[in-house]
A and B are shown apart, each in its own frame.
Chain A
Amino acid sequence: MKKLIFFILFSSLITSIASARSTGCKEGNCDNGYGKWVYTDKTTYEGEWVATKKHGQGTETWPNGYIYKGEFKESQWSGIGILFFPDGSTYEGEWANGFMNGKGTFTWSDGKQKTGIWKNGSFQE
């Protein structure tokens, strides 16, 4: 019984260490500079950092297939950027506070397009 408890605790410890080693700043400088950060859910950000925040040009890749390439401000998608949806749809244009805000083009996976002004992720008809 003691051996079993020891084995479980030891396994948990090894798993925690392995998990901790696979997340966090994996390459470069994630404080001020250029670096790659891996989150616990396997989302990755590779790009510029200012004062430990994502700021400048970068690429954020989500494990479920969303990829954002473009400008970040204070860790949010802000500026000019392109978001690739998992099914192949894209939005290219202006972003603010993590949402499509400003002029942009949404392209569906079948090639259909919609260009115009977006506000908080919604197209302004």
Chain B
Amino acid sequence: MEVSKNSFKTLSEPVKQFGGLVGIIILIFLTFFVLNNIFGEGDELVAKMKIEEERIAEERKLNKLISSLPSGVLVSFDGTDNFKLSDELYEAVCKATKLIPQRAIMGANFLNFRAHEIYTINGNKIDETFVKWDDEKNKCFAGYVVSGNNVGVDETVKVSGEALSFLSTGIDTRVYFIKNF
């Protein structure tokens, strides 16, 4: 021990400084290694970041597509003067659409009296809306959930149907007709 202490003393000043620097660097690496093991998510975090990056890229692609569509009503069926969506566009518009305006909800309520009642009692309040692409059926489904107290009874009604037309505002797209019959 005494010998090593003396040999350290005999080292020149630049060598000592270099050794100290290497020691500090090793200490920093070790500290980060330990902290990463305790708090870091490692591969899981990288995987999450990749998924998020893919989602952003997909969203950008969809937004570009939406802005290229004509403003107005877009339909997935024949027999109207409105812009007819191709199968590919129908899927893309479905995936990009998040909003369901009031008229579409009121239209779907025609065939769901309970939903209409709760919707009216609640002052047109909607708990939740959803627009989903069904890969198996190759169709777009949209709907909403209304809940409330109807004559002393707590009710929750989910209305769902095929989203057959959309409204393109030039900025976004909205479900315009839910066929729930």
Q: Which residues of A line the B interface, CB within 8 A?
A: 41, 43, 62-66, 83, 85-89, 99-100, 106, 109, 120-122
Contact = CB atoms under 8 A, between A and B. Distances in A.
Contact of A64 (B79, B167, B181): B167
Given A65-B73, A88-B79, A122 B167 contact: no
Chain B interface residue bracket vs A? 20 to 34
A87 B167 contact: no
9 contacts: A64-B101, A64-B107, A65-B176, A83-B110, A86-B80, A86-B177, A87-B177, A99-B113, A121-B116
A83 B110 CA distance: 10
Contacts of B165: 64-65, 86-87
Given A109-B77, A109-B79, A120 B176 contact: no
A63 B165 CA distance: 12
Interface in B72-112: 73, 75, 77, 79-80, 101-104, 107, 110-112
A41 B110 CA distance: 19
A41 B107 CA distance: 14
B77 A121 contact: no
A63 B103 contact: yes
Contacts of B112: 121
B144 to A, nearest CB: 15
A62 B80 CA distance: 15
Contacts of A65: 73, 80, 165, 176-177
Contact of B107 (A62, A88, A120, A122): A62
Contact of B110 (A63, A64, A99, A109): A99
B168 to A, nearest CB: 13
A64 B164 contact: no
Contacts of B113: 99, 120-122
Given A86-B165, A86-B177, A87-B164, A64 B103 contact: yes
A41 B101 CA distance: 10
Contacts of A120: 113
